[in-house]
Chain A
Amino acid sequence: MQNDEICNLWQAQGSGPAPLTLEELRRKGGKFRSQIARRNLREYVVTALMMPYFGYFAWTSRWPAMRVGNGLMMAGLLYMAYQLHRRAAASDAPAEMAWKTCVAFHRAELERQRDALGGVWKWYLGPLVPGLATILGAGCMAGFQRSTLAGMVALAASGVVALGMAWIGRLNMRTAAGIQRQIDALDAATAG
């Protein structure tokens, strides 16, 4: 079989399902927009539900450190929600698909993912650290004031939380490093 014949064979494949009608496209476009809106709403609802929880302890706790910690958690959650909103808005750019070449678009998409994952300590986990550290520290102090065992339990729980956050951060950094390798490979493939 000659290469021309292979190309002809390729192009002779069936046309598949009927193309979408304008009405279907409108419906799909509306669905896409409502999916994004629902996702954003979910994030805002979670934040909105957490705020009264931390707000309650920030207002009523007997320990000043707990009040400060819960206040910091509220600030961290608000900052995280703002960053999620900002990033979701930035990624919704269909026009770029038309004027960017495939390589430029692919690279930009990988860079966006790499930066979102690589900067997870700055915008996702980081903002929660001051509040969490203060609350856990205060919990440990309160535990040791009660008994050594209670203090040790609080300390162990704090360690588990810290390890969990470190693990999530490390996982994201590793994925970001993998994406950077893809960017490097793309650059190497397009050089020349």
Chain B
Amino acid sequence: MYGAALHRLASAYEADPDKRRDLLQEVHLALWRSLGSFDGCCSLRTWVYRVAHNAATTYVIHQRRSRASAWLSLEEVGTLADPSEGERAADRRHSVDRLLAMVQQLKPLDRQVILSYLEGLDAAATAEITGISAGNVATKIHRIKNLLAQRFQQGGHHAE
């Protein structure tokens, strides 16, 4: 049911395809092992994303403990030049790759918020998954929209 979404989530946390498969298995396993604790206090979708993000975050913390300082916030990513600035092709695959490369640089919290946004979750659901306030989510989504506008819209104008 959430197979494709979980695959997208795993690809945002792990760039290497072999390791990504391991991560995906870890996520599935975490969902399976915590299945007994689902008591209906939130929607199934919220529960799935929360467990999946927590499992993926645990994975990246253990994989990249020494390189955690290399993670960037939304603000910091926004100040960096897009490495493929000169290739603003309309190629859809290329756009997804650029998006993935950007997301993979983010700190876990910012990564969780941007993934929720890209998956079409609203601010309330994102707040419920991440645990940050709805106001904080709204601020981050505003930054995400600006960032995506800078990176992916022709001419670089900001979309609000």
A residues contacting B by CB (< 8 A) are 1-3, 6-7, 9-11, 13-20, 25, 28-29, 32, 94-106, 109-110, 113, 175, 178-179, 182, 185-186, 189-190, 192
Contacts and interface: CB of A to CB of B under 8 A. Distances in A.
Contact of A10 (B24, B47, B58, B118): B118
A177 B16 CA distance: 29
Contacts of B124: none
Chain B facing A: main interface SS: helix
A13 B62 CA distance: 27
A16 B7 contact: yes
Contacts of B58: 97, 105, 109
Contacts of A95: 33-34, 36-37
Interface string B13-41: 00000000100110011101110111000
A7 B34 CA distance: 29
A108 B95 CA distance: 35
B50 A98 contact: yes
Given A13-B96, A97-B34, A190 B152 contact: no
A101 B112 CA distance: 11
23 contacts: A6-B95, A6-B148, A7-B119, A14-B4, A15-B7, A16-B4, A17-B24, A19-B6, A95-B34, A95-B36, A97-B50, A98-B34, A98-B47, A100-B50, A101-B128, A102-B57, A102-B130, A103-B109, A105-B57, A106-B57, A106-B108, A109-B57, A178-B68
Contacts of A104: 131
Interface of B: 3-4, 6-8, 10-11, 21, 24-25, 28-30, 32-34, 36-38, 47, 50-51, 53-55, 57-58, 61, 65, 68-69, 73, 92, 95-96, 99, 107-110, 112, 117-120, 128-133, 135-136, 145, 148-149, 152-154, 159
A20 B27 CA distance: 11
B21 to A, nearest CB: 6
A102 B112 contact: yes
B51 A7 contact: no
Given A10-B118, A15-B7, A102 B129 contact: yes
A119 to B, nearest CB: 17
A113 B135 CA distance: 30
A157 B135 CA distance: 60
A138 to B, nearest CB: 39
A32 B29 contact: yes
B11 A16 contact: yes
A98 B40 CA distance: 11
